[in-house]
Amino acid sequence: MFRDRSILITGGTGSFGRVLARTLLRNHAPRRLVIFSRDELKQYEMRAEFGDDPRMRFFIGDVRDRERLERAFDGIDLVVHAAAMKQVPAAEYNPFEAIKTNVFGAENVINAAIDRGVERVIALSTDKAANPINLYGATKLCSDKLFVAGNSYAGENGARFAVVRYGNVVGSRGSVVPFFRKQRETGVVPVTDPRMTRFWITLEQGVQFVLRSFELMRGGEIFVPKIPSMKLLDLAEAIAPDCDTVNVGIRPGEKLHETLIGEDDARRTLEFDDHYVLVPEFSWWDGDGAKAGRPLPDGFSYCSDNNEWWLSVDELRQMSEKI
């Protein structure tokens, strides 16, 4: 799938992009790996980190700029769309900017991929796109819909688009882990709500799931991995066991529990041993590749508080120590 192929990562200087780039270069022998992002400093730092690998290219650009995307996509076989404005408070305060990047940027990626003959595109989504209550989640839900419908625009033999949706990433930029570590020095760790739960996945697990989804996709699917949940209080105990906790209340746009598959989505979802697939409701979708999937029962939902797989305090401590 990846050997001797030209691969581009939008938002490639982010936490996910760096781990994906390292994994591809180390294990999959791509012909060319293009890092597309708008931050020249992060590109400079990433170039220094990765050395002078002749397979790497760095493209300054913004997903809002369709002409720049079309230039960057020239000769590209596979695209991972990881660029996004993802901080919930920032999106609430700057709603037009979030829409320009997360919605119009998604449209630009789709059109550029079709026009430049890209074979497959996987877009990264979030649990906040399921039953969204904040603008970030709403823009990512809209983006998901665009990528699923993009297969209709591409036609029978055009680019194929799919989505990968998962939960909070351990150690990603803006993660709560470094924040708790910093607060540990004060002896007090602020917790938004003692009942709060979240899905939890490592960067490496996210990367491997995306790479596998490239091989599984036929176009139009939303892939959801089976991942564990954790309690925010348990995470605080794992990182700062000797500190007091103080409840500060849920922030605007924040949920008590996150959802990856809501009850309504579950009716068009198939279950596999280690993941779920939300199948598109379009006549063109080829369901042969999902025959092994099992329909979900009525009333099913996949939420961080009704998950059967939970991380213990010790497991959370081990995961956070690796960051």
What confidence score (pLDDT) does residue 156 get?
83
pLDDT of 290 reads 65
231 is an active site residue: no
Residue 59 lies in a domain: yes
Determine the structural domain holding residue 158 and report its residue range: 6-169+199-227+259-303
Rounded-to-integer distance, Cα 262 and Cα 249, Å: 25
Catalytic residue among 128, 140, 231, 255: 128
Higher pLDDT, 251 or 21: 21
- On whether residue 240 sits in a domain, the answer given is no
Written as one letter, the residue type at 193 is D
Asked, for residue 48, whether it belongs to a domain, the answer is yes
User: What confidence score (pLDDT) does residue 170 get?
Assistant: 84
**Residue 78 contacts residue 2 (beta carbons within 8 Å):** yes
pLDDT for 82: 98
pLDDT grade for 319, boundaries at 50, 70 and 90: confident
CA distance 256 to 159: 38
DSSP reduced 3-state for 157: coil
Q: Residue 39 falls within a domain, yes or no? A: yes
* Residue 172, pLDDT above cutoff 90: no
For 205-221, what is each residue's pLDDT tens digit?
A: 999 999 999 999 999 99
Above 90 in pLDDT, residue 71? yes
Read off the CATH number of the domain in which 293 is found: 3.40.50.720
Q: How confident is the model at residue 287 (pLDDT cuts 50, 70, 90)?
A: low
Question: pLDDT-derived band of residue 322, with 50, 70 and 90 as boundaries?
Answer: confident
Report d(CA 225, CA 207) in Å as an integer: 12
Q: What is the mean pLDDT of the chain?
A: 94
**Count of structural domains within the chain:** 1
Tokens representing 23 are: 């994994």
264 lies in a domain?
yes
pLDDT in the model for residue 321:
81
Which runs of consecutive H residues, i.e. helices, occur in the chain? 15-27, 40-50, 66-72, 88-93, 95-99, 105-115, 135-154, 176-184, 203-216, 232-239, 263-266, 313-321
Q: What is the pLDDT of residue 304?
A: 97
HSE toward the beta carbon, residue 71, CA cutoff 13 A: 11
> What percentage of the chain has pLDDT greater than the value 90?
84
| pLDDT at site 39 | 94
pTM: 0.95
Going by pLDDT thresholds of 50, 70 and 90, the confidence category of residue 301 is very high
Q: What angle do CA 116, 9, 208 make, to 5 degrees?
A: 120
Q: Is residue 182 situated within a structural domain? A: no
pLDDT tens digits along 81-109: 999 999 998 999 999 999 999 999 999 99
Does residue 276 form part of some domain?
yes
pLDDT band for position 178 (50/70/90)? confident
pLDDT on residue 174: 65
In single-letter form, the type of residue at position 259 comes to T
Q: Residue 291: is its pLDDT beyond 90?
A: no
Task: Convert the pLDDT of each residue in 116-171 to its tens digit.
Answer: 999 999 999 999 999 999 999 999 999 999 999 999 999 888 999 999 999 988 87
